[in-house]
Amino acid sequence: MVAGDGSGSLAWTDISRVAKYRAGVFTVFEKESRAPDGRVGRFSVMEANEWAVVVPLLRQPREEFLMVRQYRHGSNASSLEFPGGVVEADEDPGSAAARELAEETGWVSSLILHAGTVYPNPAIQSNRFHVFLALDPHPAVERNLDEQEVVDALLVPADFVRSTMGEGEMSHALMVTALYLAEKKLAQIS
């Protein structure tokens, strides 16, 4: 039997919020919050800008994804990913996705579609992850990498990406999510 209303769906009320650690890309806050039944708890929450990723799909002459390979310091390994990054203050997520595509690969697309928005880890993070599908991109501009970015752009056969996503170099959980949402969007428009 599934337990019903233990009030898991009711919101907690924030009592206090104190910044405990500030880093370049996120801030960790300690929150004290009151449960619907009156209990009080302390929680750590990481706040960061929104993120946007774009899944660039070339459909002719054969299906290929435009991807980027970069070293990830958390895993101490290279990761094969879709282009993406931080949504700047007052920037639309779709504009951020188009910007990241151009900056990291030098490619652009005239058709970028919103595929979905999810929370990367709502237990401890407040930001959202926006996924876009870019159809038939083409090389058009010079790459413009951030100072700390070392990125290779490459075309990868779509069948290979679809069959190995979630393994090896493609084990970044957000990229698994991005592929799923992009494929779902692609099915809707096909």
Range of the domain at 27: 13-47
Q: Are residues 60 and 126 in the same domain?
A: yes
Q: What is the CATH number of the domain that holds 98?
A: 3.90.79.10
8 found inside a domain: no
- For residue 46, the surrounding DSSP H or E stretch is strand 40-47
Q: Are residues 144 and 72 in the same domain?
A: yes
Give how many domains the chain has, as a whole number: 2
- The torsion angle over the Cα atoms of residues 95, 98, 99 and 104, rounded to 10 degrees, is 160
- The token pair at 23 is 């880093």
Q: pLDDT tens digits, residue range 114-149? A: 999 999 999 999 999 999 999 999 999 999 988 888
Model confidence band, residue 87 (pLDDT cutoffs 50, 70, 90): very high
- Percentage of the chain beyond pLDDT 90 is 89
Q: pLDDT tens digits, residue range 134-187? A: 999 999 999 998 888 899 999 999 999 999 999 999 999 999 999 999 999 999
Radius of gyration of the chain (CA): 19
